[in-house]
Amino acid sequence: MANANQNFYELYRSTSIGQTLADTLDELISSRRIEPQLAMRVMQNFDQNIAAVLGEKVKSRLNFKGHLDTYRFCDEVWTFIIKDVTFKMVDTGQQERADRVKIVACQSKDKPEK
Amino acid sequence: MSNLLVGDVYGKIIEAVIRDSKTEFEENGVSTATLSDLEKEWKHKLSQKDVAHMSWDPKPVPPQPVQQVPIPAQSLPSVATNHAQPSYSTYHQQPQPNGATRIKVENGPEQQYHGLPNSYPQSMPDGQGGQVRAAQLAQQYAQARGIAGGLALPGQRPQSMQPQNQTQHQAQQMYMHQQRQQQAALQQQQAQPRIKVENESPQLHQGGFQQHPRPPNPAYAQTDGADEGLEEWQAYIANRRATTAEQTERADHMMRDAVLQNSASLESGLMMTLDELPKGARSKKRQGKARAADKSVVAAGPSIPQLDGDYDEDEKPIKDEDDVDAINSDLDSEEDPTGDLDEDDDDFGDSILCTYDKVQRVKNKWKCVLKDGVMSINKKEWVFHKGTGEFEW
């Protein structure tokens, strides 16, 4: 998933903020207001900035428990399917429940990447 | 972590991305207006997703009650009235100088009108000018009637029409005739005894119709204009019946196609025994062909019903447990695990996108430490710096 040049994961493009950015760029490309290469550069900027903001600006912590239904480890990427999950926010004490959660995790930047 | 903080985090991300992209835009010669539009649209789409309260979202405004402006119905009849009145006034004015001439022309058809049910085919040849005018008037009256309140207009003016020309009578009579089409049979009975009386009246005087007693049956005085209306109405009815017949037939075909499709889906092999199910990959190919054939058949119509049987046999997908040649085991999982992992249901699936620091397992106990994650749970988004998970496999 990581871009060799930028060394940032494209993982977060699947989030809502990433998808909305991609949709907006698609509209601009369709209307010929920007070039596709420029859109790619914007997405790379997004990859970099979201990782930076999440790493520096966010301080909250999370605990969760559940039943592991499926696990996969391939190309340094873990994929889990968890059933009957209970989330607990350490800061606020708020709890959430979900029947099925999919977790996709790339290797942390603290560890050297291939 | 709180859902409220997500908006601030996303706002910061957007600001950083736009700031870093500004240089790229300038290098590519794209105006800053495009960049501004990008930012606006991005925020707008994110707000529309409603996954969190964004920092740029305005405070929720209470929905204002929709004020429905009542359509002034009174203005419509007035419009109709104004529209119809000039026609009346023109009628009053125009025929007057030539009243005598016109009366003579239109006597013939008017004679025949009284025998309307019996002598209808005879009404056509004479007085065509009057019939044309009557037809035009009928259209005007129909429009006025269609708007609103036009119904009352001719009825309100029968007395004023009486002293006027016969053409005005014809127009009014046409209108009345259109209203009473269902009573044509009744009028026939009434008209027959009157034929003798009214045939004489126009011969006596040009304004004979004017002197004809109207109160008992105003429509009785209608003449050739009504004949045209009847003919048009009958033609219209015939067309409508033909169209209805076509549509009924078409609807029947559509219903039959739908029923066949439903029956095919119901008989898709789900209720079939294992012995009757086909085996191997060949069945899948036959499924594809049968489906394609069946679709084309269904689309073409119910002309080849026997293909449903082939479709039923090959419909059910092959599973290992059904295939006699398959190597089955109690340890086989019923679900396809790759299907679960590859599911992409952003709207309804809860997901966490993050990085991992550590993943451990002891027997069937798993522990993982996650970092910098974005969660989407129950259509709401959350962010966390560090997450710890414990699950049992």
What pLDDT, in 10s, does the model give residues B37-93?
A: 999 999 999 888 887 777 777 766 655 655 555 555 444 444 444 444 444 444 444
Residue B257 parent element (H or E): helix B224-266
pTM for the model? 0.47
Q: Which residues touch B185 (CB under 8 Å, ≥6 apart)?
A: B117
Whole-number pLDDT of residue B84: 45
Tell me which chain B residue has its CA closest to the CA of residue A106. Answer: B355
- Please, what is the average pLDDT of chain B? 66
- Which pLDDT band holds residue B178 (cuts at 50, 70, 90)? low
Q: Which range among A70-79, A102-111, B127-136, B326-335 shows the weakest confidence by mean pLDDT?
A: B127-136
The secondary structure element, H or E, covering residue B243 is helix B224-266
Asked whether the beta carbons of residue A107 and residue B356 sit closer than 8 angstroms, the reply is: yes
* ipTM of predicted assembly, 2 dp: 0.90
Question: Looking at the partner chain, which of B1, B354, B366 has a beta carbon nearest the beta carbon of A89?
Answer: B1
Distance CA B141, CA B199 (A): 28
For B284, the token pair is 């899948």
CA–CA distance, A68 with A79 (Å, rounded to integer): 11
Q: What is the mean pLDDT of residues B253-269?
A: 77
pLDDT of B110 reads: 47
pLDDT score at B150: 45
Q: Which residues of chain A have pLDDT under 50?
A: 1-6, 111-114
- Residue with the larger pLDDT of the pair B318 and B135: B135
In chain B, residues with a C-beta closer than 8 Å to the C-beta of A9 are: 355
For residue B234 the two structure tokens come to 């009958």
Angstrom distance (rounded) from CA A42 to CA B315: 48
pLDDT in tens, B142-172: 666 655 444 444 444 444 444 555 555 665 6
- Categorize the per-residue pLDDT at B353 as very low, low, confident or very high, splitting at 50, 70 and 90: very high
Paired tokens of A49? 């900035």
Rounded-to-integer distance, Cα A105 and Cα B371, Å: 9
What the block records as the tokens of B224 is 């050739």
pLDDT digits 0-9 by tens, B226-247 = 566 788 888 888 888 888 777 7
Q: How many CB atoms lie within 10 A of CB A113?
A: 12
Is B374 in Cβ contact with A57 (below 8 Å)?
no
Do B21 and B13 contact (CB within 8 A), yes or no? no
Encoded tokens for B167: 């053409």
Q: State what percent of residues in chain B have pLDDT above 70.
A: 38
Shortest CB distance from B341 goes to which of A35, A81, A82? A81
Confidence of residue B347 (pLDDT cuts 50, 70, 90): low
H or E stretch at B161: helix B158-161
3-state SS assignment for residue A74: strand
Token pair in block for residue A69:
């239904």
Q: Do A45 and B21 touch (CB under 8 A)?
A: yes
Contacts of B382 in chain A (CB under 8 A): 62, 89
Q: Which residues of A66-77 are buried (b: 16+ CB within 10 A; e: fewer)?
A: bebbbbeeeeeb
On the 0-12 / 13-18 / 19+ scale of CB atoms within 10 A, B291 is middle
How many other CB atoms sit within 10 Å of the CB of residue A55?
A: 14
B377 → closest Cβ in A14, A49, A96: A96
pLDDT, residue B109, reads 47
**pLDDT interval class at B105 (50, 70, 90):** very low
Crossing angle (nearest 10°) for helices B224-266 and B128-147: 50
How close is the nearest chain A Cα to the Cα of B318, in Å? 24
Which residues have CB under 8 Å from A17's CB, separation 6+? A50, B10, B13, B14, B46, B374
**pLDDT score at B4:** 72
Query: A41 and B21: CB-CB below 8 Å?
Result: yes
**Chain B closest-CA separation from residue A5 CA (Å):** 17
What gap in Å lies between CA B343 and CA B338, rounded to an integer?
8
Res B191: pLDDT = 52
**In this predicted structure, what is the pLDDT of residue A75?**
92
pLDDT of B117 above 50: no
B200: helix, strand or coil: helix
pLDDT at B174 over 50: yes
Model confidence at B137, pLDDT cuts 50, 70, 90, reads confident
Residue B331: what pLDDT?
A: 76
- Predicted pLDDT of residue B95: 45
- B312 phi/psi in degrees, rounded to 5: -65, -40
Give me the residue from A12, A33, A72 closest to B353, CB to CB: A12
Give pLDDT, residue B180: 67
Q: Tokens in use for B331?
A: 């340890």
| Amino acid identity, position B131 | Q
Helix, strand, or coil (residue B157): coil
At B261, the pLDDT band (50, 70, 90 cuts) reads: confident
What is the reported pLDDT for B159? 47
Residues of B in contact with A45 (CB under 8 A): 16-17, 20-21, 24
The residue behind tokens 């204009």 is B225
